[in-house]
Structure 1
Amino acid sequence: MTVNRLYAGYQAELADFRLAFSRGGAYTAIVLVLLGMGLDYGQYPEWQGPFAVARIVVSMLIAGIVVVLYSQHGRRLAPWLTLSWLLLPQLMIAWMIWETDGVASPYYVGLNLAIFASGIALPFGLWQNVVFGGLSYLCYLVACLLHPDGLHPVGTFLVNSLFVLFAGAASAVYTYFNEKGRFQLFRLKEELANKNDELARINENLAQIKGQLLQQEKMAAVGTLAAGLLHEVNNPVNFCLMAIEIALEEPQAKESASLQECLIDARQGMQRIQHIVSDLKIFAYRQPGAEVEGRPFLFEKALDSASRLTAHELRGVRMTRELPPDTLVFGDEAAIIGVLINLFSNAALAMRKAGTPAPAIHTTVVWKDGRLHVNVRDNGPGIPSENLARVFEPFFTTREVGQGLGLGLSISYAVIERHGGVLFAESELGQWAAFSFDLPRAE
């Protein structure tokens, strides 16, 4: 943050601070002015009536300024209005000095009290305090000059003048250091706020890294499992397929249509097992890293693989698609299969949870500006608007505890981003939800 911006922010905060203190100081001044009637009674009982009227009038004027301070116009003029209500008691005290004993009047102490209060209690600026101290002394000087005895006794006048001037000088020093202290405090608050923002960004990055590491560990485990499955399952599956082919050539199978149909179904089931294990191996062995692994592949083939891997979750869901004749793209096929699996699984789960009648997922694929644009849309319950902007946040999930970490969409977003595209969501609550992304064309 630049010095100018920091100072501008400080001035904005200080304006509110001064306004609040001005109101509180004005209320305090009203109380002190009215309590001064006790001083009038003790020192000048003969003046108690006129002085009481003066105190009430000054208190009402201060109250009027407080009312103005609560208005929008008053907020802009807060420094001047504060100076005004501070000068009202000073003018009253100067009149009391003139009416009583002049230089010898004890009321000059009230001038000092107001000057000290402006420097210590009120968040005045330096120039404001200097002006207020100078005007306060001017009030005292004029009151003494207008008194019949003038500046006599001179010694008392000099002592009192020095006390008022000392009070003004001390108040100015207090104001200067108070203002510096307030500015330092504000700067520390700004630095702390900036550090907190930086820490929040670091935490967000750590959350993303943690999510990616968890996903990579999970994929590594699945990869090991898939490799073992491929080795352990392929041989017995091949034996079964060989046995089924031999059985299909037997005369009994050729003579029995029902037996032949069962054998054909068994062969298709074995072939499907082969496809699933192969797809699982491709998906699990995806290469981690910031850069996308570059190789051409048919998006249609990735779509077929994702559909097979989610077939169990997609039972009862009508799957339709619109594809161009050419779907050859460039990128990480396994990663894109993972994105499609995530989108299909989320859609199926949402529709099943909402009890959507005739659940369906439609995938539309078109070429536009040299990129393949993919749209996966379901007819489920949709996504609430408050969640739509958060679906790609790491660890954000609406599933129950234990049903997901909330990493799938955030990792899918990163995958598409590495391919130079954008994954985004659209929805109409209660009608549909759709996720779209784009992939580069293979050269």
Structure 2
Amino acid sequence: MLKKVASEYSNYESELREFRLLSSKAGALTAIVLVMAGVLLDYGIYPHEQLRFFLARLAISLLIGVIYVLLPTAFGRRFVQPLTLAWLILPQLMIAWMISVTEGASSIYYAGLNLVIFAVGIALPMGMWQTIGFGAVTYLFYFLACLISPSGLSDRPHFIVNSIFILFSITASAVYTFFNERGHFHLFRLKEEVAHKNRELAEINRSLAEIKGQMLQQEKMAAIGTLAAGLLHEVNNPVNFCLMAIEVAMEEPQAKENPSLEECLVDAKQGMQRIQHIVSDLKTFAYRKPGAEADGVPFLFEKALDSATRLTAHELRGVAVTRELPSDTLVLGDEAAVIGVLINLFSNAALAMRKAGTRDPSIRTAVSWVGKRLHVRVRDNGPGIASEHLPRVFEPFFTTREVGQGLGLGLSISYAVIERHGGALFAESELGHWTAFSFDLPRAE
């Protein structure tokens, strides 16, 4: 059951393998230290066997050292469990041999077998059946050691008692290993759940940031729309009166006979018409038509481009603005939102070029049809965007401007606008030379 649940987590085995590797390396070093430290026991209990036992301990330590060196290799990582069992069995073989050449069943060295069994259950991340198997092999070594010892199995009381203690050790280690294995898996599952929740929270925070940015944008647009509606009502009448007066004045003989006066009247007429266009553009930009965002409304992209250029005219002073348009630019979508995207791109480009002191600043808008999509590319010859910042320019609240110079929401909102139109907004740049933003809009059938 545990293995079936664990299979749902692809990273569990990988993490467990790394944990087993670290535990095995630490255990191998500890085993070498303890095996060599046993020389003190030999000196106290079997001084006459000290040289032979020392050579045996040295040989076993060297073999464990070889396995320790193998563990971090690709081979060791692949076979970490068999290698761990191999170095665990080496001390058991040594202890069994020591029992066989001393008192057999009554030898105090049987306690070393128990120590290693407990170490497997407590300190090493072994499986339950591996622990039981290791315990069974250990008991087999003990039985054979007693059998071939000089006294054989004649000391039955010691043999039975020691056998029972070894079996107790095997049982306790197996139970502990079982719960340790379950605990480790549950800890891993908890970590995975926490990581999953963190990912969900990050996604929620990103969505909230986008919603917050859109709400700020909507509030700003509503305020501009209210202002524009008032301006249109209050300004339109006097502007119309002025236009009528200018038209009448232009028909007067004095005006037609005086080229300078006629030129002044033409300039005044164009100025009044510009006022009308700006107020109308503000209203178009701020007031979305009902259903424009959901279903899309046909509009001329060229008209949206004109509006965006007029609304950013004060920022584009000194900037050469050029365009390349096809004869037909009728697209489907939200005209006000697309104007907002263009305003954002123009404003960002103008600000960057002004801040960098770009010589002969220019912005070129190239528009062309590719299939049923109108592709738009806005390119400037400004300072460009650093490569480490380029992947983040569409993140909400990401900005390289100084505090108070912007919230870092413009490109994030623009990206969402183009995405709602079934397209994508891309950024390209060469640091120190140019920056370009590209997007596409659907054709109005």
TM-score, structure 2 normalization? 0.93
Secondary structure at 2:296 match in 1: coil
Q: In structure 1, how many angstroms separate the alpha carbons of the residues matched to 2:331 and 2:103?
A: 101
Q: Which moved more, 1:267-276 or 1:237-246?
A: 237-246
Q: Deviations over 1:364-413 (max 9, x none)?
A: 22222123222222222222232222222222222222111111122122
Q: How much identity, in percent, do the aligned residues show? A: 72
Matched, 1:375 2:363: no
- Please give the residue correspondences for 1:187-198 in structure 2 after superposition, counting only pairs within 5 Å: 187-198=189-200
Task: Indicate the residue corresponding to 2:115 in structure 1.
Answer: 113
2:434 and 2:269 map into 1 onto residues whose CA distance is 38
Residue of 18, 22, 25 corresponding to 2:24:
22
What's the CA shift for 1:129?
Answer: 1.0
Q: How does 1:25-424 map to 2 (within 5 A)?
A: 25-245=27-247, 257-287=259-289, 291-292=293-294, 294-424=296-426
- More deviation in 34-43 or 148-157? 34-43
- Look up the SS of the partner of 2:326 in the other structure: coil
Deviation at 1:244, TM superposition (A): 4.5
In structure 1, list runs of 5 or more residues that go unmatched. Answer: none
Amino acid at match of 1:383: I
Deviations 1:142-200 (A, max 9, x none): 11111111112211110011111111121111111111111111111111111111111
**Residues of 2 paired with 1:88 and 1:67: CA distance?**
16
Shift of 1:253: 5.7
2:179 and 2:70 mapped to 1: Cα distance? 30
Give the Cα–Cα distance (whole angstroms) in 2 for the partners of residues 163 and 321 of structure 1.
92
Q: Which moved more, 1:252-261 or 1:429-438?
A: 252-261
Q: Cα offset for 1:234?
A: 2.8
Is 2:6–2:12's contact at 8 Å kept on the other side of the alignment? no
Contact 1:317–1:348 (Cα < 8 Å) also in 2 = yes
- Greater shift, 158-167 or 393-402, is seen at 393-402
Q: Is the 8 A contact 1:229 1:277 kept in 2?
A: yes
Does the CA-based 8 Å contact 1:329-1:439 persist in structure 2? yes
Structure 2 residue identity aligned to 1:17? F
Structure 1: which amino acid aligns with 2:37?
L
Question: Which segment drifts farther, 101-110 or 50-59?
Answer: 50-59
Q: How many residues align?
A: 442
- Asked if 2 retains the 8 angstrom alpha-carbon contact of 1:298 and 1:328, the reply is yes
8 Å CA contact 1:58–1:88 kept in 2: the answer is yes
Bigger mean CA offset, 62-71 vs 430-439: 430-439
SS where residue 389 of structure 1 aligns?
Answer: helix
Shift of the 60–288 alpha-carbon distance from structure 1 to 2, 3 Å rule, reads farther
CA drift at 1:249: 6.0
Q: Distance in 2 between matches of 1:70 and 1:293?
A: 61
Secondary structure of the structure 1 residue equivalent to 2:171: helix
C-alpha contact (below 8 Å) 2:103/2:150 kept by paired residues: no
Determine if contact 2:293/2:334 at 8 Å carries over to the other structure: no
For the aligned residue pairs, the C-alpha RMSD in angstroms reads 2.2
Q: CA deviation at 1:419?
A: 2.0
Q: What's the CA shift string for 1:265-286, capped at 9, x where partnerless?
A: 3332232122111111110112
Report if the CA contact (8 A) 2:6-2:185 is conserved.
Answer: no
Q: Does the alignment pair 1:439 with 2:441?
A: yes
1:76 and 1:439 map into 2 onto residues whose CA distance is 54
Q: Which among 421, 425, 428 is matched to residue 427 of structure 2?
A: 425
Matches of 2:379 and 2:59 in 1, distance apart?
76
CA contact (8 A) 1:279 1:309 kept: yes
Shift of 1:30: 1.3
Give, in whole Å, the separation in 1 of the partners of 2:196 and 2:116.
Answer: 39
C-alpha distance in structure 2 between counterparts of 1:26 and 1:176, whole Å: 22
Contact 1:292–1:419 (CA under 8 A) maintained in structure 2: no
Query: Relative to structure 1, is the Cα distance of residues 323 and 255 closer, same or farther in structure 2, using a 3 angstrom cutoff?
Result: same
**Aligned-partner Cα distance in 2 for 1:274–1:382:** 36
**Alignment partners' CA distance in 2, 1:46 and 1:290:** 100
Mapped to 2, the partners of 1:172 and 1:28 lie a distance apart of 21
Please give the secondary structure, in 2, of the residue aligned with 1:386. Answer: coil
Kept in 2: contact 1:290–1:418 (CA 8 A): no
Say if 1:80 and 1:430 are closer, same or farther in 2 by CA, change over 3 A: same
What letter is aligned with 2:220? K
